[in-house]
Chain A
Amino acid sequence: NTGFAWKDGEEIYTKICAYCHEVQVGPQIRNRELPAAYIREIVRNGNRAMPAFRYAEIDDESLAKLSEFISQTQSKH
């Protein structure tokens, strides 16, 4: 009887990131080969207009999957 947990990187992207990064609120981040360390830095600290996301929202393992999804160059969201 546990609560919600993320399935994979695509789910996190679709249900959080895409709401800004696919509608020109934030810059495009897919297909840019952004390094995982950079993504992690921005997600955890926020960046100017972008809010930060906590470990409680996206745990480290999920964040790694998210980074992998974002940096994939083949598939388009």
Chain B
Amino acid sequence: MASKYIALPKGVSEKDFDAAINNFRKVLSDDAVLTSAEQLAPYIKTMMPVADAEHTPSAALLATTVEQIQQIVAICNQYKVPIWMISTGKNLGYGSAAPAERGQVVLDLKRMNRILEVDKDLAFALVEPGVTYQQLYDYIKEHKLGLWLSMPAPSAIAGPVGNTLDRGVGYTPYGEHFLFACGMEVVLANGEVLRTGMGSMPNSNTWQVFKWGYGPYLDGIFTQSNYGIVTKFGFWLMPEPPAFKPFVIQYQHEEDIVEIVETIRPLRISGVIPNAVVIAHALYEAPVKAKRSDYVSGPGSIPDEAVDRIMKDHKLGIWNVYAALYGTQEQIDVNWNIVTQAFGKSGKAKILTEQEAADDPAFVYRAKLMRGEMTLTEFSLYNWRGGGGSMWFAPVSQARGSETLKQMALTKQILAKYGLDYSGEFIVGMRDMHHIVDVLYDKTDPEQTKAAYQCFDELLTEFSARGYGTYRVNTAFMDKVAETYGPVQRKVHKTLKKALDPNGIIAPGKSGIR
């Protein structure tokens, strides 16, 4: 007889799963325990080049309170049911809302979406997992709090908790999101509720203002991990500056990335340019303005000659450096002089401000991202090839020109081997770069899907062989990336896992930890 479930958790009998589901129903209302194929369909859609069956959940639970989550983990421990937590579940290119392993129960916290506090003076927020950036943006506007958000490109539909727990990034001076996190509440596998930092102290009012607390600092072990379920999350917000000046600097040759990075690094480290700058390749920005099919047809990666034509037709550099200045007009004027002098030296840079680029759709969405305004325009990347295939290949690089050129060339060469295009950008930290490459392919084409899988695998293999590690990866490749960081780290991760979650019920497989 066919199972009444679309999947079962690994090692759990249908009888035990029945019992667990019945108990979940006692904790949650009936419409918050989803088991039918129709209800679970949205959880199955991923952009990864593997069969959907490999990441099909057995059920989804829509919890809204800490107490419910405590009861859920008790049931999971009793029946050894693994759960996969999502907050807003928009981890596109990294596995979306689907579990790492087939059969896991998704603990969907989207409906747990209260904004608990936004402090105007101390400029912080405390929120639940289901809060979206749009929701918080509207709240801040409505209450005239004068605070700016930092968010990733999926902005409106993503949220600060899920994004920061995967250590995602944004584009303002607060773009390194985990750096600006301050205080978490975590339900542990044994049902206990831990508040990190100052949050553990009764009557404390400093949970969101001082990060470390006393003793070992634990927040980091709850990011990209499966040691607990984060139910509250605090983070700092940037006060709205009196003036904002976004700009783009365009270069014409791929090798120019060396000059770009050497010019930016001192400006970033000294704080003259304070935000998470982006150095976007022409093919990363092109989808906002151009169709791939207008320039190339048939198999293979796009030739350089076609990229040249796109640049000319759509006023793009091969590298497009998006950055911004923030502060009073006087501060901006002083720093603008420093920036234009630094980039003006070689004569290769074309510097454009809002005056020249206000009608350019790529500039417009970049300016929005750099000031925390909602926009999903970057999703046009998914139209470049179309077909719903996308994986983020995200190696870390030194902010050193020679390194960025080396990584770019290697990535492009491996992509070309599989007929795919280099749609890449560098997100500039102070000393690091998140080298972000969208491995785009047509998931409706089985051959191209197979090629994309092999391509991604080879990218990871070749980069790790050269000592380049990945900062974040989709669920199909988590084990592979965990291996690249060596056996000792993996053993420590496992030791912590056993101590905190002896039954292995919380998201086994996350970051390769079981």
**A interface with B by C-beta (< 8 Å):** 1-4, 15-16, 19-20, 23-25, 44-57
Contacts and interface: CB of A to CB of B under 8 A. Distances in A.
Contacts of B42: 44-46, 52-55
Contacts of B62: 55-56
Contact of B128 (A3, A48, A50): A3
Contacts of A55: 34, 39, 42, 62
Interface residues on chain B, size class:
35 or more
Contacts of B43: 52, 54
Contact of A44 (B41, B157, B444): B41
A77 B151 CA distance: 26
Contacts of B70: none
Chain A interface helix/strand/loop/mixed? loop
The majority secondary structure among interface residues of chain B is loop
A19 to B, nearest CB: 4
Interface stretch (B88-96, B238-246, B305-313): B88-96
B156 A54 contact: no
B157 to A, nearest CB: 6
Interface stretch (B108-116, B179-187, B335-343, B398-406): B108-116
B387 A45 contact: no
A3 B64 contact: yes
Interface string B73-106: 0000000000000001110100011000000000
B92 A51 contact: yes
Contacts of B464: none
B375 A48 contact: no
Contacts of B38: 44
A51 B111 CA distance: 19
Contacts of A57: 88-89, 110, 157
Contacts, number: 94
A44 B128 CA distance: 24
Contacts of A51: 45, 90, 92, 96, 157
A56 B45 contact: no
Nearest to B390: A49
Contacts of B97: 52, 54
Given A45-B41, A48-B388, A52-B43, 12 more contacts: A3-B113, A4-B114, A16-B156, A19-B375, A25-B377, A44-B41, A45-B42, A51-B92, A52-B41, A54-B60, A54-B108, A56-B110
B389 to A, nearest CB: 9
B185 to A, nearest CB: 16
A23 B128 CA distance: 30
A25 B42 CA distance: 20
A15 B132 CA distance: 11
A52 B157 CA distance: 12
Given A15-B156, A25-B383, A48-B444, A1 B114 contact: yes
A54 B110 contact: yes
A56 B352 CA distance: 43
A4 B339 CA distance: 43
Contact of B114 (A3, A19, A45, A48): A3
B376 A19 contact: yes
Contacts of B92: 51
Contact of B379 (A2, A3, A4, A25): A25
B354 to A, nearest CB: 19
